[in-house]
Amino acid sequence: MRVLGLNAVFHDSAAAVVVDGRIAAAAEEERFSRRKHGKRPVPFSTWELPEQAIAWCLAEAGLEPSDLDAVAYSYDPRLVDPASGGLDPGWEHLRTTYAERAPYFLRTLLPTYDPETFHFVRHHVAHAASAGLVAPFGDCAVLVADGRGEATSSLLGEYRDAKLDILAAQSLPHSLGLLYEDLTAHLGFARSSDEYKVMALASYGTPRHLPLLRGLVHAEGGGFRTEPLDWNALAPSRTPDGEFLDAHADLAAIVQAALEEVLLELCGWLWDRTQNPNLVLAGGTALNCVANTRLFAESPFTQLWPQPAAGDSGTALGAALTVAAEAGDRIEPMTSAALGRGFDDEAIEAVLRTARVRYERPDDLPDAVAAIIADNGIVAWFTGRAEYGPRALGYRSLLAHPSRADNVERLNDIKGREQFRPVAPMVLAERRPRSSPAVRCPVRTCCSFTMSHRNGETACRRSPTSTARLGSRPSTTRPTRRSRRCCGPSRLAPASRWW
């Protein structure tokens, strides 16, 4: 079965193609339009479809629109409850109307596709499928914690033989994701965009008011409560270019801590009902790698797999997988996040020539890169297909010497980021530290605990001095021939915005 999956309702618009249970392509629209998150998550942008991502995914899979057996859309407007708390009654109907018309909007893009093949997939079922159907183990428990779907903000369930049993779902307006979004806006960052900055800022704070927050944000059975919070009583609101106060970091710290506590409680509830050692995560909060680390270290589950595209972009894949599985296709595991667009040698060389960038092709690329890093240079690493999801997982990255403390500042300057933002040490898998129980890597290429450097020592803990997520790769990983050609000798490659 050939299925095109779409995410277009909120943000991180994306497309994916699944052919006979195998993921052929998946990519966010932002990677083509260069517009971060594809579009703003407002009702009057719901009609916008990920045009370029759709075109690329179909081309990558070698399909014409008329070849499609199904189109899967990761939102079901029939499930929207206008009476749900937390929805804006003045605008929500517009989002619903646009979603209902999506099959026909798509027809304007793909005139030869058949709207009769269009399927609406419940948003959190799409999130769940994006992880549960492709994780590197079979049956599993699934935890989706999100901002919002049609009328809920979470889903707890279990996959058995590729069939999802939904055990619990939290109704709006209670939402861990929306709580975090509100805090993001209060701290002067972009709502539905910069939540990862809050996660980083939290490591600098002290959770002084956590007991107060626990009274408002806490787990309750397979759900939770997120009561309205007077943010200004805890820290003044910050403008986007305003100064960071200790109170801002403290506020981020208590919400981060509360989030982790609620997720741990949900994991305990899910474990009690499933007794399944495998847990998969999806939904926007599954991008919170600090929380994921606690779930891996402290929850009863022994294996954990977060979908790399845990945010809404991953629902394009999850919707397609859901329809394919329901049709009887056997779904193949997702073995890599490198599902996006790649470039062949000729295309890269043509760009370098046009830009008049001096380049060469080292005979031994690893040696050349190692020499640059040892000399405290910075390497822009570009290899293979782009990652699906927001995290750099080894295909679009900056590499620098990890033992030089000032390299964190250099990297953040190059990327135009706040200086509290973390970097990720990379180590060979067989050399990764094993002494601390916190140092266990839930996924091979993206680990999620924080490391700090202080007084010449490296420790696995949260610290205001510098933080990082550890990544590891097996020593057998070698650059492909394509990558050998696309990494130039420049000590400081032209800064781009891939990462």
Contact letters (x/-) for Fe ion, 133-152, by CB under 5 A? -------------x------
Answer yes or no: 37 catalytic.
Answer: no
Nearest CB to Fe ion, comparing residues 176 and 348: 176
Applying CB under 5 A, which part among 261-269, 310-318, 340-348, 488-496 lies near Fe ion? 310-318
Q: Which of 12, 76, 250, 312 binds Fe ion (CB under 5 A)?
A: 312
Helices (H), ranges, 357-405: 365-374
Two tokens, residue 135: 């994780």
CB of residue 111 to Fe ion, shortest distance in Å? 30
Applying CB under 5 A, which part among 18-26, 196-204, 219-227, 309-317 lies near Fe ion? 309-317
Question: CA 301 to CA 229: how far, in whole Å?
Answer: 32
Instruction: Provide the β-strand partners of residue 6.
Output: 15, 73
| DSSP class of 47 | T
Two tokens, residue 499: 């990462």
CB of residue 88 to Fe ion, shortest distance in Å? 17
Q: At what angle do helices 176-186 and 195-202 cross, to 10 degrees?
A: 80
> Contact between 28 and Fe ion (CB under 5 A)?
no
Task: Write out 117-164 in H/E/C secondary structure.
Answer: HEEECCHHHHHHHHHHCCCCCCCEEEEEECCCCCCECEEEEEEECCEE
Per the document, the length of the chain is 499
CB of residue 315 to Fe ion, shortest distance in Å? 6
Nearest CB to Fe ion, comparing residues 146 and 194: 146
Nearest CB to Fe ion, comparing residues 60 and 150: 150
Two tokens, residue 172: 């709006």
Which residue in the shown chain puts its C-beta closest to Fe ion? 146
CB of residue 196 to Fe ion, shortest distance in Å? 15
Q: Which helix (H) or strand (E) holds 27?
A: strand 22-28
CA 91 to chain centre: 27
Applying CB under 5 A, which part among 197-205, 246-254, 308-316, 466-474 lies near Fe ion? 308-316
Nearest CB to Fe ion, comparing residues 92 and 345: 92
Strand 14-19, strand 2-7: pairing: antiparallel
| DSSP class of 6 | E
CB of residue 148 to Fe ion, shortest distance in Å? 7
CB of residue 198 to Fe ion, shortest distance in Å? 18
Nearest CB to Fe ion, comparing residues 28 and 146: 146
Question: CA 381 to CA 369: how far, in whole Å?
Answer: 9
User: 11, 37, 127, 174: which is the annotated catalytic residue?
Assistant: 11
CB of residue 127 to Fe ion, shortest distance in Å? 6
Tell me which residue of 418, 408, 416 sits closest to 450, measured CA to CA.
Answer: 408
Nearest CB to Fe ion, comparing residues 24 and 128: 128
- For 228, other C-beta atoms within 10 Å of its C-beta total 9
Question: CA 41 to CA 12: how far, in whole Å?
Answer: 8
Q: How many residues bind Fe ion (CB under 5 A)?
A: 2
Q: What is the layout of strands, in order, in the sheet containing 118-120?
A: 22-28, 14-19, 2-7, 70-73, 118-120
Nearest CB to Fe ion, comparing residues 146 and 250: 146
Classify 305 in phi/psi space as left (phi over 0), alpha (psi -120 to 50) or beta: beta
Give CA angle at 367 (363, 373), nearest 5°: 130
Applying CB under 5 A, which part among 57-65, 130-138, 223-231, 305-313 lies near Fe ion? 305-313
Tell me which residue of 294, 301, 216, 302 sits closest to 260, measured CA to CA.
Answer: 294
Contact 463, 323 (CB under 8 A): no
What are the residues whose beta carbons fall under 8 Å from the beta carbon of 300, sequence distance 6 or more? 267, 268, 271
Contact letters (x/-) for Fe ion, 192-231, by CB under 5 A? ----------------------------------------
CB of residue 182 to Fe ion, shortest distance in Å? 16
Nearest CB to Fe ion, comparing residues 60 and 312: 312
Residue ranges binding Fe ion (CB under 5 A): 146, 312
Catalytic residue IDs? 11
